[in-house]
Structure 1
Amino acid sequence: MQNPATSKQQVLEVLRDAGVNPTSQRVEIGFVLFSACAHLSAEEIMQRVNADYPVVSKATVYNTLGIFAEHGLVREVIVEPGKVFYDPNVSPHHHFYYVDSGELVDIPAHDLQVRSLPDLPEDTELQQVDIVIRLRRKTNSSTVARA
């Protein structure tokens, strides 16, 4: 989803248009994800959905995010083992991942060019290229403690 969702009705329509059955829990999860237009983990989504009172289980959140990814509503961005962000921006783009803060930031597709790829195995075709550039903020040598 490219533009933020401004209502749950809009999320319901987006889900229907994508062929996803819009259950109340899916609409809640979709609204949190699509209204924020941010890179969120499943845990962050669950916390936001359940902020007022628990309505959605962890399994439901994970299953729903999987369905959203299968239907092209979100991209799963795996930044390290066990750390996955869900990105509602499904247009071609890449990411900076700040390992020290856990922040994920978009890189417009035109800012990074892949000049060539290896030969693909027989009977396969390229689906997508996702690049995550891992960064760490520089430490100032004057702030390093002296022994």
Structure 2
Amino acid sequence: MENTALDRGTEWLARGGLRPTRQRLSLASLLVGDGLNRHVTAESLFALSVESGDRVSLATVYNTLRAFCSAGLMNEVVVDGSKSYFDTRMDDHPHFYWEDTAELTDAPKDQLEISGLPDAPEGTEISRVDVVIRLKRT
């Protein structure tokens, strides 16, 4: 039997130790219900929820995305210091940011080579390195 979007959303929330409230289930089903990884903004996820007929406020979408990140289910990728994308793919990988469409997509991980990171200040450790490659069409 194939998992439904709701089943996938429920399992995903359980992996993060989150209680499956109606709003969380609705948004989780939109994010992982088809089994694919995606990059969303709060606004784009809100639009998807409206299209699906769910009643979830934009503030709830923001709060829920933050809860998903805190639970280790998503990563936040900040572009331009003011625009955040939320990524359901959790392994370390670079991103392309398409300036003309404001879209974030995965970049080939096997083609990126990082060498020579600076030492972390005393009493800290590097938790991750985000790489966003900005693209402009010619």
State the TM-score, normalized to the length of structure 2.
0.89
One-letter code of the match for 2:75?
Answer: R
2:61 is the alignment partner of 1:58 = no
The residue aligned with 2:9 is 11
Paired residue secondary structure (2:51):
coil
The residue aligned with 1:37 is 37
* Aligned partner (choices 19, 26, 30) of residue 21 of structure 1: 19
Cα pair distance change 1:56/1:114, threshold 3 Å = same
2:46 is the alignment partner of 1:46 = yes
Contact 2:17–2:71 (Cα < 8 Å) also in 1: yes
Q: Distance in 1 between matches of 2:45 and 2:29?
A: 10
Output one character per residue of 1:117-136: Cα deviation in whole Å (capped at 9) or x when no partner: 11210000110011001111
Contact 2:95–2:105 (Cα < 8 Å) also in 1: yes
The residue aligned with 1:135 is 135
Paired residue secondary structure (1:78):
strand
Paired residue secondary structure (2:96):
strand
CA RMSD of aligned residues (A): 1.6
Cα pair distance change 1:52/1:96, threshold 3 Å = closer
Paired residue secondary structure (1:93):
coil
Provide structure 1 residue ranges, at least 5 long, that are not aligned to the other structure.
139-147
Within-5 A mapping of 1:46-125: 46-53=46-53, 55-125=55-125
Provide structure 2 residue ranges, at least 5 long, that are not aligned to the other structure.
none
Paired residue secondary structure (1:73):
coil
Q: Distance in 1 between matches of 2:37 and 2:87?
A: 8
Q: Which has the larger radius of gyration?
A: 1
- Once the two structures are TM-superposed, the CA of residue 6 in structure 1 deviates from its matched residue by 4.2
One-letter code of the match for 2:20?
Answer: P
Paired residue secondary structure (2:39):
coil
State the TM-score, normalized to the length of structure 1.
0.84
Post-superposition, which runs of at least 4 consecutive aligned residues in structure 1 deviate over 3 A? none
Larger mean CA deviation between 45-54 and 93-102 belongs to 45-54
Q: Percent identity?
A: 40
One-letter code of the match for 2:74?
Answer: V
